[in-house]
Chain A
Protein backbone atom coordinates (compact mmCIF):
# COMPACT_ATOMS: atom_id res chain seq x y z
CA UNK A 1 0.00 0.00 0.00
CA UNK A 2 1.15 3.49 -0.72
CA UNK A 3 1.50 5.07 2.68
CA UNK A 4 1.36 8.60 1.39
CA UNK A 5 -1.91 8.48 -0.41
CA UNK A 6 -3.34 5.46 1.32
CA UNK A 7 -4.36 3.86 -1.93
CA UNK A 8 -4.04 0.15 -1.85
CA UNK A 9 -3.30 -2.57 -4.31
CA UNK A 10 -5.91 -4.65 -2.63
CA UNK A 11 -8.06 -6.11 -5.37
CA UNK A 12 -11.22 -4.56 -4.00
CA UNK A 13 -9.92 -1.04 -3.67
CA UNK A 14 -10.72 1.49 -6.30
CA UNK A 15 -9.59 4.94 -7.14
CA UNK A 16 -11.87 7.72 -8.19
CA UNK A 17 -11.09 10.92 -9.95
CA UNK A 18 -13.11 13.52 -8.13
CA UNK A 19 -13.07 15.85 -11.11
CA UNK A 20 -14.39 13.44 -13.68
CA UNK A 21 -15.99 10.82 -11.50
CA UNK A 22 -13.91 8.15 -13.22
CA UNK A 23 -13.37 5.07 -11.15
CA UNK A 24 -10.28 2.96 -11.67
CA UNK A 25 -9.44 -0.32 -10.05
CA UNK A 26 -6.14 0.17 -8.28
CA UNK A 27 -4.66 -3.05 -9.55
CA UNK A 28 -5.53 -2.14 -13.11
CA UNK A 29 -4.16 1.35 -13.43
CA UNK A 30 -0.50 2.06 -13.91
CA UNK A 31 0.61 3.02 -10.48
CA UNK A 32 2.39 6.30 -10.98
CA UNK A 33 3.44 8.00 -7.84
CA UNK A 34 5.03 11.35 -7.47
CA UNK A 35 5.69 11.91 -3.83
CA UNK A 36 8.44 14.39 -3.28
CA UNK A 37 10.91 13.09 -0.76
CA UNK A 38 13.35 15.91 -0.74
CA UNK A 39 14.45 16.52 2.74
CA UNK A 40 17.80 17.07 4.29
CA UNK A 41 18.75 17.60 7.87
CA UNK A 42 21.84 18.54 9.72
CA UNK A 43 22.31 17.69 13.34
CA UNK A 44 24.58 19.82 15.49
CA UNK A 45 23.42 18.95 18.88
CA UNK A 46 26.08 16.66 20.27
CA UNK A 47 28.02 18.01 23.20
CA UNK A 48 31.18 16.26 22.13
CA UNK A 49 31.32 18.39 19.04
CA UNK A 50 30.54 15.44 16.86
CA UNK A 51 28.45 16.46 14.00
CA UNK A 52 26.95 14.55 11.20
CA UNK A 53 24.88 15.58 8.37
CA UNK A 54 22.89 13.57 5.95
CA UNK A 55 20.85 14.62 3.08
CA UNK A 56 18.53 12.40 1.19
CA UNK A 57 17.24 13.38 -2.07
CA UNK A 58 15.26 10.57 -3.50
CA UNK A 59 12.61 11.85 -5.81
CA UNK A 60 11.20 8.42 -6.57
CA UNK A 61 9.34 9.39 -9.57
CA UNK A 62 6.68 6.85 -10.34
CA UNK A 63 4.38 9.66 -11.34
CA UNK A 64 1.13 9.92 -9.51
CA UNK A 65 -2.00 10.64 -11.51
CA UNK A 66 -4.19 11.34 -8.55
CA UNK A 67 -2.15 14.04 -6.91
CA UNK A 68 -3.93 14.94 -3.73
CA UNK A 69 -7.39 15.18 -5.22
CA UNK A 70 -8.40 11.55 -5.06
CA UNK A 71 -10.12 9.50 -2.47
CA UNK A 72 -9.60 5.92 -1.51
CA UNK A 73 -12.45 3.60 -2.20
CA UNK A 74 -13.01 1.11 0.55
CA UNK A 75 -15.23 -1.86 0.00
CA UNK A 76 -17.75 -2.27 2.80
CA UNK A 77 -20.20 -4.86 1.47
CA UNK A 78 -22.24 -4.36 4.60
CA UNK A 79 -25.91 -5.05 4.99
CA UNK A 80 -27.61 -1.80 5.95
CA UNK A 81 -29.54 -3.60 8.67
CA UNK A 82 -26.54 -5.64 9.81
CA UNK A 83 -26.66 -4.21 13.31
CA UNK A 84 -30.31 -5.05 13.77
CA UNK A 85 -29.85 -8.49 12.24
CA UNK A 86 -27.00 -9.27 14.61
CA UNK A 87 -29.03 -8.24 17.65
CA UNK A 88 -31.99 -10.21 16.32
CA UNK A 89 -29.84 -13.33 16.15
CA UNK A 90 -28.85 -12.76 19.77
CA UNK A 91 -32.49 -12.54 20.73
CA UNK A 92 -33.20 -15.70 18.75
CA UNK A 93 -30.52 -17.57 20.66
CA UNK A 94 -31.86 -16.17 23.90
CA UNK A 95 -35.33 -17.54 23.10
CA UNK A 96 -34.01 -20.91 21.94
CA UNK A 97 -31.94 -21.38 25.06
CA UNK A 98 -35.04 -20.83 27.17
CA UNK A 99 -37.41 -22.90 25.06
CA UNK A 100 -39.51 -19.85 24.36
CA UNK A 101 -41.73 -19.52 21.32
CA UNK A 102 -41.57 -15.87 20.25
CA UNK A 103 -44.07 -14.60 17.71
CA UNK A 104 -43.98 -11.23 15.99
CA UNK A 105 -47.58 -10.12 15.43
CA UNK A 106 -47.89 -7.69 12.56
CA UNK A 107 -50.89 -5.96 11.01
CA UNK A 108 -52.47 -2.65 10.10
CA UNK A 109 -53.76 -0.55 12.97
CA UNK A 110 -57.18 -1.73 14.06
CA UNK A 111 -57.06 -5.33 12.81
CA UNK A 112 -57.82 -6.61 16.29
CA UNK A 113 -54.37 -7.74 17.42
CA UNK A 114 -54.90 -6.80 21.03
CA UNK A 115 -58.36 -8.39 21.23
CA UNK A 116 -56.95 -11.52 19.63
CA UNK A 117 -54.17 -11.59 22.20
CA UNK A 118 -56.56 -11.06 25.10
CA UNK A 119 -58.68 -13.98 23.97
CA UNK A 120 -55.69 -16.24 23.31
CA UNK A 121 -54.16 -15.51 26.71
CA UNK A 122 -57.43 -16.09 28.57
CA UNK A 123 -58.28 -19.30 26.71
CA UNK A 124 -54.82 -20.81 27.12
CA UNK A 125 -53.93 -19.41 30.54
CA UNK A 126 -54.17 -22.77 32.30
CA UNK A 127 -52.17 -24.50 29.60
CA UNK A 128 -49.46 -22.22 28.18
CA UNK A 129 -47.76 -19.31 29.94
CA UNK A 130 -47.95 -16.32 27.59
CA UNK A 131 -46.23 -12.97 28.12
CA UNK A 132 -46.42 -9.94 25.92
CA UNK A 133 -44.26 -7.17 24.55
CA UNK A 134 -46.49 -4.36 23.29
CA UNK A 135 -45.25 -2.00 20.65
CA UNK A 136 -47.05 1.25 19.93
CA UNK A 137 -45.99 4.74 19.07
CA UNK A 138 -47.78 6.17 22.09
CA UNK A 139 -49.85 5.23 25.16
CA UNK A 140 -49.88 2.19 27.41
CA UNK A 141 -53.54 1.45 26.64
CA UNK A 142 -52.85 -1.89 24.99
CA UNK A 143 -50.49 -2.97 27.72
CA UNK A 144 -53.16 -2.18 30.28
CA UNK A 145 -55.67 -4.36 28.44
CA UNK A 146 -53.19 -7.23 28.30
CA UNK A 147 -52.26 -6.75 31.95
CA UNK A 148 -55.91 -7.14 32.87
CA UNK A 149 -55.78 -10.69 31.52
CA UNK A 150 -53.29 -11.44 34.28
CA UNK A 151 -50.16 -11.95 32.21
CA UNK A 152 -46.88 -10.11 32.28
CA UNK A 153 -46.52 -7.35 29.73
CA UNK A 154 -44.02 -4.68 28.79
CA UNK A 155 -44.98 -1.73 26.59
CA UNK A 156 -42.50 -0.26 24.21
CA UNK A 157 -43.42 3.15 22.82
CA UNK A 158 -41.49 3.88 19.72
CA UNK A 159 -42.38 7.59 19.64
CA UNK A 160 -42.03 8.55 16.01
CA UNK A 161 -40.71 5.10 15.13
CA UNK A 162 -43.04 2.99 13.01
CA UNK A 163 -41.75 -0.45 13.99
CA UNK A 164 -39.96 -2.35 16.73
CA UNK A 165 -36.27 -3.11 16.34
CA UNK A 166 -34.21 -5.91 17.81
CA UNK A 167 -32.52 -3.75 20.45
CA UNK A 168 -35.89 -2.53 21.71
CA UNK A 169 -37.01 -6.11 22.08
CA UNK A 170 -33.82 -7.05 23.91
CA UNK A 171 -34.45 -4.22 26.36
CA UNK A 172 -38.08 -5.22 26.72
CA UNK A 173 -37.13 -8.82 27.45
CA UNK A 174 -34.84 -7.73 30.27
CA UNK A 175 -37.85 -6.23 32.00
CA UNK A 176 -40.31 -8.88 30.99
CA UNK A 177 -38.16 -11.80 32.17
CA UNK A 178 -40.38 -14.42 30.57
CA UNK A 179 -40.16 -17.85 32.22
CA UNK A 180 -38.61 -20.90 30.56
CA UNK A 181 -40.90 -22.93 28.29
CA UNK A 182 -43.35 -20.14 27.51
CA UNK A 183 -44.70 -18.03 24.69
CA UNK A 184 -43.71 -14.42 24.10
CA UNK A 185 -46.12 -12.51 21.89
CA UNK A 186 -44.59 -9.39 20.41
CA UNK A 187 -47.31 -7.03 19.27
CA UNK A 188 -45.56 -4.86 16.74
CA UNK A 189 -46.60 -1.32 15.83
CA UNK A 190 -49.64 -1.39 13.56
CA UNK A 191 -47.98 -1.01 10.18
CA UNK A 192 -47.78 -3.35 7.20
CA UNK A 193 -44.58 -1.94 5.74
CA UNK A 194 -41.63 -1.35 8.04
CA UNK A 195 -41.95 -4.24 10.49
CA UNK A 196 -41.40 -6.60 7.54
CA UNK A 197 -37.82 -5.36 7.24
CA UNK A 198 -36.79 -5.63 10.87
CA UNK A 199 -36.03 -9.06 12.23
CA UNK A 200 -36.53 -9.15 15.97
CA UNK A 201 -35.29 -12.69 16.53
CA UNK A 202 -38.78 -14.17 16.54
CA UNK A 203 -39.66 -17.72 15.56
CA UNK A 204 -41.90 -16.27 12.86
CA UNK A 205 -44.15 -13.40 11.93
CA UNK A 206 -47.90 -13.80 12.25
CA UNK A 207 -49.83 -11.38 10.06
CA UNK A 208 -53.30 -10.39 11.18
CA UNK A 209 -55.75 -9.09 8.63
CA UNK A 210 -59.35 -8.23 9.41
CA UNK A 211 -62.24 -8.70 7.03
CA UNK A 212 -63.11 -5.01 7.35
CA UNK A 213 -59.98 -4.30 5.30
CA UNK A 214 -59.58 -4.92 1.57
CA UNK A 215 -59.10 -8.54 0.53
CA UNK A 216 -56.20 -7.47 -1.67
CA UNK A 217 -54.04 -6.32 1.23
CA UNK A 218 -51.65 -9.28 0.80
CA UNK A 219 -50.76 -8.18 -2.74
CA UNK A 220 -50.76 -4.51 -1.76
CA UNK A 221 -48.28 -5.18 1.04
CA UNK A 222 -46.47 -8.23 -0.34
CA UNK A 223 -43.33 -7.84 1.77
CA UNK A 224 -45.23 -8.37 4.95
CA UNK A 225 -47.29 -11.31 3.74
CA UNK A 226 -44.31 -13.03 2.20
CA UNK A 227 -42.33 -12.56 5.42
CA UNK A 228 -45.13 -14.06 7.54
CA UNK A 229 -45.59 -17.75 8.16
CA UNK A 230 -49.18 -17.45 9.35
CA UNK A 231 -52.09 -15.21 8.43
CA UNK A 232 -54.98 -14.83 10.83
CA UNK A 233 -58.06 -13.49 9.08
CA UNK A 234 -59.83 -11.83 11.97
CA UNK A 235 -63.32 -10.41 12.65
CA UNK A 236 -64.90 -13.26 10.68
CA UNK A 237 -68.10 -12.70 12.70
CA UNK A 238 -68.65 -9.57 10.58
CA UNK A 239 -68.56 -11.45 7.26
CA UNK A 240 -72.37 -11.63 6.87
CA UNK A 241 -72.45 -7.82 6.82
CA UNK A 242 -69.61 -7.30 4.38
CA UNK A 243 -68.72 -7.97 0.74
CA UNK A 244 -65.36 -9.38 1.75
CA UNK A 245 -64.38 -12.36 -0.43
CA UNK A 246 -62.49 -14.78 1.82
CA UNK A 247 -61.41 -17.15 -0.98
CA UNK A 248 -60.06 -14.28 -3.02
CA UNK A 249 -58.15 -12.95 -0.01
CA UNK A 250 -56.60 -16.34 0.75
CA UNK A 251 -55.70 -16.71 -2.92
CA UNK A 252 -53.95 -13.33 -2.87
CA UNK A 253 -52.06 -14.35 0.25
CA UNK A 254 -50.93 -17.59 -1.42
CA UNK A 255 -49.89 -15.72 -4.57
CA UNK A 256 -47.46 -13.79 -2.46
CA UNK A 257 -46.55 -16.66 -0.18
CA UNK A 258 -47.59 -20.17 -1.27
CA UNK A 259 -46.52 -21.61 2.10
CA UNK A 260 -48.56 -19.29 4.31
CA UNK A 261 -50.90 -20.96 6.80
CA UNK A 262 -54.26 -19.27 7.06
CA UNK A 263 -56.71 -19.37 9.95
CA UNK A 264 -60.09 -17.67 9.73
CA UNK A 265 -60.99 -16.52 13.19
CA UNK A 266 -63.14 -14.24 15.26
CA UNK A 267 -61.36 -13.08 18.37
CA UNK A 268 -64.69 -11.71 19.55
CA UNK A 269 -66.82 -14.86 19.35
CA UNK A 270 -63.97 -17.37 19.51
CA UNK A 271 -64.92 -19.03 16.23
CA UNK A 272 -61.96 -20.66 14.50
CA UNK A 273 -59.63 -19.95 17.39
CA UNK A 274 -59.03 -23.65 18.18
CA UNK A 275 -57.07 -24.09 14.93
CA UNK A 276 -54.85 -21.18 15.92
CA UNK A 277 -54.38 -22.68 19.38
CA UNK A 278 -53.46 -26.03 17.85
CA UNK A 279 -50.88 -24.28 15.72
CA UNK A 280 -49.43 -22.65 18.85
CA UNK A 281 -49.30 -26.00 20.65
CA UNK A 282 -47.50 -27.60 17.71
CA UNK A 283 -44.93 -24.84 17.50
CA UNK A 284 -44.01 -24.52 21.14
CA UNK A 285 -40.65 -26.15 21.85
CA UNK A 286 -41.24 -29.74 22.97
CA UNK A 287 -40.37 -29.51 26.64
CA UNK A 288 -42.77 -26.64 27.03
CA UNK A 289 -45.63 -28.82 25.79
CA UNK A 290 -44.60 -31.61 28.09
CA UNK A 291 -44.56 -29.26 31.04
CA UNK A 292 -47.84 -27.73 30.02
CA UNK A 293 -49.47 -31.17 30.01
CA UNK A 294 -48.05 -31.89 33.47
Chain B
Protein backbone atom coordinates (compact mmCIF):
# COMPACT_ATOMS: atom_id res chain seq x y z
CA UNK B 1 0.00 0.00 0.00
CA UNK B 2 2.70 2.45 -0.99
CA UNK B 3 -0.02 4.61 -2.53
CA UNK B 4 -0.63 6.19 0.87
CA UNK B 5 2.94 7.47 1.00
CA UNK B 6 2.78 8.45 -2.65
CA UNK B 7 -0.43 10.40 -2.08
CA UNK B 8 1.10 12.15 0.92
CA UNK B 9 3.94 13.21 -1.35
CA UNK B 10 1.46 14.55 -3.88
CA UNK B 11 -0.43 16.55 -1.26
CA UNK B 12 2.82 17.91 0.20
CA UNK B 13 4.20 19.04 -3.17
CA UNK B 14 0.95 20.68 -4.28
CA UNK B 15 0.39 22.36 -0.88
CA UNK B 16 3.89 23.78 -0.99
CA UNK B 17 3.26 25.25 -4.43
CA UNK B 18 -0.24 26.49 -3.65
CA UNK B 19 0.71 28.45 -0.54
CA UNK B 20 -2.47 29.83 0.99
CA UNK B 21 -4.56 29.46 -2.14
CA UNK B 22 -7.19 26.74 -2.16
CA UNK B 23 -6.61 24.18 -4.88
CA UNK B 24 -9.57 23.31 -7.07
CA UNK B 25 -8.00 20.62 -9.23
CA UNK B 26 -4.85 18.59 -9.61
CA UNK B 27 -3.89 16.52 -12.62
CA UNK B 28 -1.54 13.57 -12.39
CA UNK B 29 0.17 11.47 -15.04
CA UNK B 30 0.34 7.89 -13.82
CA UNK B 31 1.83 5.34 -16.19
CA UNK B 32 0.22 1.92 -16.41
CA UNK B 33 3.63 0.35 -15.80
CA UNK B 34 4.44 2.48 -12.78
CA UNK B 35 3.32 0.11 -9.98
CA UNK B 36 0.87 2.70 -8.74
CA UNK B 37 -2.83 1.98 -8.74
CA UNK B 38 -4.91 5.05 -9.63
CA UNK B 39 -7.88 3.76 -7.63
CA UNK B 40 -5.72 3.45 -4.53
CA UNK B 41 -4.49 7.03 -5.07
CA UNK B 42 -8.09 8.22 -5.33
CA UNK B 43 -8.97 6.36 -2.15
CA UNK B 44 -6.02 7.83 -0.26
CA UNK B 45 -6.50 11.32 -1.66
CA UNK B 46 -9.72 11.93 0.27
CA UNK B 47 -7.93 11.09 3.49
CA UNK B 48 -4.62 12.82 2.79
CA UNK B 49 -6.15 16.05 1.51
CA UNK B 50 -8.19 16.72 4.67
CA UNK B 51 -7.27 20.04 6.30
CA UNK B 52 -4.95 20.99 3.47
CA UNK B 53 -5.41 23.46 0.58
CA UNK B 54 -6.39 20.41 -1.49
CA UNK B 55 -9.36 19.47 0.65
CA UNK B 56 -11.98 20.13 -2.01
CA UNK B 57 -9.80 19.63 -5.03
CA UNK B 58 -10.86 17.45 -7.94
CA UNK B 59 -8.35 14.72 -8.69
CA UNK B 60 -7.74 13.95 -12.37
CA UNK B 61 -5.50 11.07 -13.31
CA UNK B 62 -4.21 10.58 -16.85
CA UNK B 63 -3.33 6.93 -17.21
CA UNK B 64 -0.50 6.61 -19.70
CA UNK B 65 -0.30 3.33 -21.63
CA UNK B 66 2.98 1.43 -21.66
CA UNK B 67 5.27 1.63 -24.67
CA UNK B 68 8.73 0.29 -25.22
CA UNK B 69 11.39 0.51 -27.89
CA UNK B 70 13.36 -2.54 -28.90
CA UNK B 71 17.08 -1.98 -28.26
CA UNK B 72 17.94 -4.30 -31.15
CA UNK B 73 15.63 -3.40 -34.06
CA UNK B 74 14.24 -0.09 -32.83
CA UNK B 75 10.59 -1.06 -33.21
CA UNK B 76 8.10 0.51 -30.84
CA UNK B 77 5.84 -1.97 -29.06
CA UNK B 78 2.91 -1.77 -26.68
CA UNK B 79 3.68 -2.98 -23.17
CA UNK B 80 1.13 -4.37 -20.74
CA UNK B 81 3.86 -5.11 -18.19
CA UNK B 82 7.19 -3.46 -17.49
CA UNK B 83 8.88 -6.02 -19.74
CA UNK B 84 8.14 -7.68 -23.05
CA UNK B 85 9.46 -9.30 -26.17
CA UNK B 86 9.80 -7.73 -29.60
CA UNK B 87 8.75 -9.51 -32.81
CA UNK B 88 12.45 -9.76 -33.63
CA UNK B 89 12.88 -11.98 -30.57
CA UNK B 90 14.67 -9.42 -28.45
CA UNK B 91 13.79 -8.96 -24.81
CA UNK B 92 15.92 -5.87 -24.53
CA UNK B 93 13.18 -3.30 -24.41
CA UNK B 94 13.59 0.24 -23.16
CA UNK B 95 10.43 1.64 -21.64
CA UNK B 96 9.58 4.93 -23.37
CA UNK B 97 6.12 5.55 -21.89
CA UNK B 98 4.00 4.22 -19.09
CA UNK B 99 6.35 4.64 -16.14
CA UNK B 100 5.23 8.19 -15.34
CA UNK B 101 4.58 9.28 -11.77
CA UNK B 102 4.13 12.96 -12.20
CA UNK B 103 2.05 15.89 -10.98
CA UNK B 104 1.25 17.63 -14.21
CA UNK B 105 -0.55 20.69 -12.94
CA UNK B 106 -2.70 22.22 -10.27
CA UNK B 107 -5.46 24.76 -10.46
CA UNK B 108 -5.73 27.31 -7.69
CA UNK B 109 -8.61 29.62 -6.95
Contacts and interface: CB of A to CB of B under 8 A. Distances in A.
Interface centre among A14, A80, A81, by most B CB within 10 Å? A80
Interface string B66-109: 00000000000000011101000001100000000111111111
Contact of B82 (A79, A163, A222): A222
A16 B105 CA distance: 12
A30 to B, nearest CB: 20
B1 A162 contact: yes
Contact of A74 (B5, B10, B12, B105): B105
A152 interface: no
Interface stretch (A100-108, A128-136, A192-200, A273-281): A192-200
A11 to B, nearest CB: 13
Given A74-B108, A76-B13, A223 B35 contact: yes
Nearest to A227: B82
A18 B108 CA distance: 11
B52 interface: no
A188 B95 CA distance: 26
Nearest to B33: A223
A101 B82 CA distance: 28
Contacts of A20: none
Contacts of B81: 219, 222
Interface in B11-35: 12-14, 17, 24-25, 28, 35
Contact of B5 (A14, A161, A254): A161
Interface size class of B (residues with CB under 8 A): 20 to 34
A14 B6 CA distance: 26
B9 interface: yes
Contact of B24 (A18, A78, A219): A18
Contacts, number: 93
Contacts of B2: 162-163, 193-194, 197
* Chain B interface SS verdict (over half): mixed
Contacts of A196: 35
Contact of B105 (A6, A18, A73, A83): A73
Contact of A254 (B91, B101, B104): B91
Given A71-B24, A197-B2, A222-B81, A80 B109 contact: no
Contacts of B13: 76, 78, 80, 82-83
A6 B21 CA distance: 12
A6 B25 CA distance: 16
A73 B35 contact: no
A75 B92 contact: no
Interface centre among B2, B24, B101, B106, by most A CB within 10 Å? B2
A200 B26 CA distance: 28
A16 B23 CA distance: 12
Contacts of B104: 75-77
Nearest to B1: A162
A182 interface: no
A72 interface: yes
Contacts of A84: 9
A91 interface: no
Interface of A: 6, 12, 14, 16, 18, 71-84, 161-163, 165, 193-194, 196-197, 219, 222-223, 226, 254-258
The 5 A-B residue pairs with the shortest CB-CB distance, nearest first, are: A71-B107, A194-B2, A71-B24, A256-B83, A80-B101
